[in-house]
Structure 1
């Protein structure tokens, strides 16, 4: 696991939890939501359920969390269906719990997303369409968002991935067999940096939209967990959704193409989804897979799960081919009017 996550586990105790709850006027009972890179609890505040999130500064700095919450507030004001950040007893959206010197925890709180999570692979057309529409609304609102200051800003995808690569390399977590993947990661980062970064194509995105990061009530979806929000290409949000929803190992892409058709139907109710974005989709899906590969490597701590092993092997296969055409999006494009 990452050094920051190790610190999160080793330096956090019940006294820290109680201090965080007090800062946001919360009380028990608290239910551990089993967050991975953050401690996440469902507590009560004035009798209503709320979410308390506590992360180590090595995972996200106070400035990065500040930017995340400012973005959420902006989206909420713009009418996007997202959870809302809550203020502490001092009127702040974040609080810090010092450990020693520059070592501290960053605490934030949120409303609870209404409804239930679901399985996107079995979701009906209306839900998939609603997800596309919700993503488009987020992107439209993102275009009018400006960070409050240079110290209150989210990272870019390429910088985030490069930092992850450097951490994995520094800790010597890549074997000689991973050399081909390493080269492919560098290729993808270099190509990504040449992509257009116009206001139409590029902005602050969620970067982790999949079926455990939104709830559904009827056909109304509510997005949460903006912990991975970063500056990237808007089509990357769709790339993440596809990668996290469908297995890589398939011969029949009919389900993927049907999902994509319904998602685009919803998105284009709000904003256009240019053909150029669709042409970039396989590349962006590969970018997601390779960054996830580095994340898995960074957090590997002994035995790996079957999913992690499958993910690892797929990355190696993709890298060995020196390609990102593995999802048959090209045939989807050919069949579109």
Structure 2
């Protein structure tokens, strides 16, 4: 936890004080909720400490999210400091902090279960529409005179610095297979089609729903990549993981079909025209599993996790090392 004195320095430029903050969570960043002194509205404070994120990269992210909000995409717009700055940067001792403030998303989170996914087809359809709208805006988006300061998907901290830091825990075979997967994707992708700034972490965890309408937040992992990457992330995080009953069973694909079909229906109706290449989505789906596996090793005390959780992680490791998966993505797509 950050000290009150440090918090006062970090959020003071927004007219806030440490006692105004309600701690929400810490994963890649420390996140707080507060009420703006100007109008009493709720806002979100995100504090990045290290994590290979520079002030210039954060400012590029905030410009992108502001553009999306101005274009009518349902995202949580950044809020400037009292002096009109996009974010706050502070170096203290050996640590570097970057602070950003955002509007609070309307509505609330939802958590579909494996046994009630068909009841949420409207939410999946609207999430598809939102992502299609975001990708449609990414195609013509230009940064103007600002240098391109977000990484390409294969240069992200999740695939580079995090993997390097956890290399011993991950094992040589896992890291070798991950390198093969990334190299294969880089060779197969056409960077002139369906490319642009992508969210990088679209899931129900990063959405609030106002009725059935989603509001997307947490663009901290946004990067330059394929739109198929975002689609595969939704398929993995918000469909596969929701449909999974601890381990893959005979009915897994049938549980995944209704939400996937609804999501893709919503996505395609925006006219984005992304070609849903099953082979590439399959590889991005497996890449997402690899990223989550690395994340677990980075953030959890794996040795002391329940055995059932560790058994699930073992399946993830074997999938990545064998470059295969229990989910037949191409078959699912062909049925939608």
Question: Shorter chain as normaliser: what TM range?
Answer: 0.7 to 0.9
User: What corresponds to 1:110 in structure 2?
Assistant: 102
TM-score (norm 2): 0.87
| SS of residue in 1 equivalent to 2:26 | coil
Q: 1:22 aligns with which of 12, 23, 30?
A: 12
Cα drift, residue 276 of structure 1: 4.2
In structure 2, relative to structure 1, the CA distance for the partners of 1:30 and 1:274 (3 Å cut) is closer
Q: 2:135 aligns with which of 120, 135, 139?
A: 139
Cα drift, residue 148 of structure 1: 5.1
Count of paired positions = 319
User: What corresponds to 1:217 in structure 2?
Assistant: 210
In structure 2, relative to structure 1, the CA distance for the partners of 1:152 and 1:333 (3 Å cut) is closer
CA RMSD, Structure 1 to Structure 2 (Å):
2.2
Q: Structure 1, unaligned stretches of length 5 or more?
A: 1-8
User: What corresponds to 2:166 in structure 1?
Assistant: 168
| SS of residue in 2 equivalent to 1:81 | coil
Any conservation in 2 of the 1:181–1:315 contact (CA below 8 Å)? Answer: no
TM-score (norm 1): 0.87
| SS of residue in 1 equivalent to 2:188 | coil
Q: 1:239 aligns with which of 217, 224, 232?
A: 232
Cα drift, residue 273 of structure 1: 4.9
Deviations 1:221-265 (A, max 9, x none): 110011111122111112112211323622221121221111111
1:75 aligns with 2:68: yes
User: What corresponds to 2:295 in structure 1?
Assistant: 295
Structure 1 CA distance for aligned equivalents of residues 50 and 42 of structure 2? 26
1:125 aligns with 2:125: no
Cα drift, residue 296 of structure 1: 2.2
| SS of residue in 2 equivalent to 1:155 | coil
Structure 2 CA distance for aligned equivalents of residues 311 and 302 of structure 1? 12
Stretch of structure 1 that moved more, 80-89 or 310-319:
310-319
Deviations 1:10-56 (A, max 9, x none): xx311111222211112553211112121111111121111111111
Q: 1:157 aligns with which of 146, 153, 157?
A: 153
Any conservation in 1 of the 2:27–2:299 contact (CA below 8 Å)? Answer: no
Q: 1:190 aligns with which of 155, 169, 183?
A: 183
Q: 1:48 aligns with which of 24, 38, 41?
A: 41
Any conservation in 2 of the 1:180–1:319 contact (CA below 8 Å)? Answer: no
In structure 2, relative to structure 1, the CA distance for the partners of 1:333 and 1:85 (3 Å cut) is closer
Any conservation in 2 of the 1:296–1:308 contact (CA below 8 Å)? Answer: no
Any conservation in 1 of the 2:124–2:263 contact (CA below 8 Å)? Answer: yes
Q: Structure 2, unaligned stretches of length 5 or more?
A: none
Structure 1 CA distance for aligned equivalents of residues 97 and 21 of structure 2? 19
Q: 1:202 aligns with which of 178, 184, 195?
A: 195
Cα drift, residue 149 of structure 1: 5.5
1:312 aligns with 2:325: no
